[in-house]
Structure 1
């Protein structure tokens, strides 16, 4: 990807793998297995594809693996420390989005402060819901205030909804549910006024905006009907967000997204290793060769905007 920063890249440490399997997540979100990951292999894949740096995060189901919130607090601290060690061992190649032990908001604020102040992370990874509570919920306001004060970069990653047994059609949740999850979470952030109250948080939405490009006008229309005198500016809010293009952005999702937002809001994402390396390579090749993007827009997607968001990983002039 010609020196891209990958904003949607995951890591799986041995301690995280053990915790997932012990908690019954050996097939996370209905996927076949927990993928293998190690830094040497990840760097080899990055070099082959042309990825300059990857901002690592913990994928779904995150650190809340069961009802034990105290265990989630400990696991968040462990994986954040392990991620910071990877960054220290490979400066310039890895960054880190810290995991937080939500829905324990107080513990999440404490861990966010530790992650920024002691570990020097690039930002925060949040999942669309925690125990069925979505990011736009008032319960999360203290965390949003903390992130706003720091002008934090926040990557929103989908996870299984609480009702997945009734809605997933017995398929892996990333097939359909993840797209609806991202759409639902972002809609809640907008309609509940979170984006307006905390405008300095720089949110990144996964998977080319999920279903948002298709349903944006519908959400905006209902917002007007709900409050005709002072409707929420849904389209304006969507245009202020950032969007990674991980997954199957072409041939249809990316053009739909570009009908909603400018190309300067796009960021590259691989979703490795939950997307196999050979699939990542093929998808990167499609982005490299598509005529949906101009050369300038492609450079913005892979480099310019990410350099602004992640100054520590910025290219040397």
Structure 2
């Protein structure tokens, strides 16, 4: 991997120092994990080892909205300007998904415009839910209408379930997968994939349970309960391979997803270097046609991110 940098990593996180300090002041963890230390040098080291040419950076859960609109707007602007500076200082190696301020829709619209038009963001990152309001909710539609008008890429990252975790099971272990599945079903059943056809929505971690449970959930994703319609809607999502390239998970993803809508993900640094490399090696070892491997590593995401071409 180290001598063949080719991959486009759409699931790579950043942790700006001021953002990390802000989370620490609020006593916030990320899905049960401590906030990791981040540096561009550390990211580039991981990328060299994993064969990653370009990483699209994003802020992970809990995002920037902890209950105060003004604080969220200020922090969103700070992390987006930090990300844009990283991209400028490392030409070709990084892009970024803009952090927005949901459930503050007006703030999200303003920050999306600034990030996409002024800072050159490659898309936006949205959490699956913010304090129980899931993607698919009618309150978020003004933002989705604007993002669809812009033909934007939307990276969907899991959040914590709006329910207490099971003692001893941190949210990142299983709740994140369920949260992604909940958001995907809600977006599909509310018709977002029909009303916003120009959005490119990437689901994290292989889409949670969607590939595995598609036949079970498809009927509620269709307005008339039609199985085929529900499956077709769910297959319009894009998927990343972050922590999902095992011999157990990857066959389900490849059997379900449109092969032109799968991309590589590392989940670094929330997945430490060795964990990220473990899943990259599993993907390398998995038997598949060369053309499919090239598409997952790079080709599919080149179409979404012009700066990577």
* TM class by smaller structure: over 0.9
Structure 1, residues 47-69: CA drift from partner, whole Å, max 9, x if none? 122100000000111112x2222
Deviation at 1:269, TM superposition (A): 0.2
- Please report the RMSD computed on the Cα atoms of aligned residues, expressed in angstroms: 1.5
- 2:32 corresponds to which of 30, 33, 45: 30
Alpha-carbon distance in 1 for matches of 2:59, 2:220: 34
- 2:304 corresponds to which of 300, 309, 316: 309
Spell out the pairing of 1:1-317 with structure 2 (5 A cutoff): 2=4, 3-25=6-28, 27-31=29-33, 33-64=34-65, 66-163=66-163, 165=164, 167-223=165-221, 227=224, 233-291=229-287, 293-314=288-309
Q: Quick check: 2:128–2:135 contact (8 Å CA) kept in 1?
A: yes
Deviation at 1:156, TM superposition (A): 0.3
3-state SS of 2:155 partner: strand
Alpha-carbon distance in 2 for matches of 1:150, 1:222: 29
Q: Quick check: 1:223–1:232 contact (8 Å CA) kept in 2?
A: no
Name structure 1 gaps, 5 residues minimum. Answer: none
Alpha-carbon distance in 1 for matches of 2:255, 2:202: 18
3-state SS of 2:242 partner: coil
3-state SS of 1:30 partner: coil
Structure 1, residues 121-159: CA drift from partner, whole Å, max 9, x if none? 100000001121001000001000000000000100001
Alpha-carbon distance in 2 for matches of 1:240, 1:259: 14
Give the structure-2-normalised TM-score: 0.95
Alpha-carbon distance in 2 for matches of 1:68, 1:13: 20
Q: Quick check: 2:221–2:233 contact (8 Å CA) kept in 1?
A: no
Deviation at 1:283, TM superposition (A): 1.2
Alpha-carbon distance in 2 for matches of 1:313, 1:89: 16
Alpha-carbon distance in 1 for matches of 2:133, 2:278: 36
Alpha-carbon distance in 1 for matches of 2:221, 2:275: 39
Alpha-carbon distance in 2 for matches of 1:277, 1:200: 35
Name structure 2 gaps, 5 residues minimum. Answer: none
Deviation at 1:297, TM superposition (A): 0.7
Moved over 6 A (4+): none
Return closer, same or farther for 1:232/1:18 CA change in 2, 3 Å cut-off: farther
Task: Say how many residue pairs are matched.
Answer: 306
Deviation at 1:45, TM superposition (A): 1.5
Alpha-carbon distance in 2 for matches of 1:237, 1:137: 17
Give the structure-1-normalised TM-score: 0.93
Alpha-carbon distance in 1 for matches of 2:258, 2:77: 37
